[in-house]
Amino acid sequence: MNNSSLYAADRVTHLKIVAVSLVASIVFLVVAIAARTSLETGYMASGPAVKAGAPMAVTRGDITVIR
């Protein structure tokens, strides 16, 4: 039994690799779904789109910023 390479591995080793990758992808999906923000607090409910106005200069002390 030579399990040092994926090509020469036996059937049980291949099944272990498939099982580990399946469990890892399920864990990843569960974490991704849990971390997703809901529509009530996400970007969809942040307010209406606002049209940009003309550029203006804002001065604070000796620093001028054009916005």
10-65 pLDDT tens trace:
888 889 999 999 999 999 999 888 887 555 455 555 566 777 778 777 777 777 77
Residue 3: band (very low, low, confident or very high) from pLDDT cuts 50, 70, 90: low
Q: Is 4 inside a domain boundary?
A: no
Centre a 10 Å sphere on the Cβ of residue 21 and count the other Cβ atoms it contains.
10
Q: How many domains does the chain have?
A: 1
Q: What is the pTM of this model?
A: 0.49
Distance CA 41, CA 20 (A): 35
Residue 1 lies in a domain: no
- Angle at Cα 17 formed by Cα 25 and Cα 22, nearest 5°? 20
Q: What domain range is 26 assigned to?
A: 11-66
User: Does some domain include residue 24?
Assistant: yes
Nearest-5° Cα angle at 11, 8 to 13: 75
In a domain, 49, yes or no: yes
In a domain, 3, yes or no: no
Domain-located, residue 39:
yes
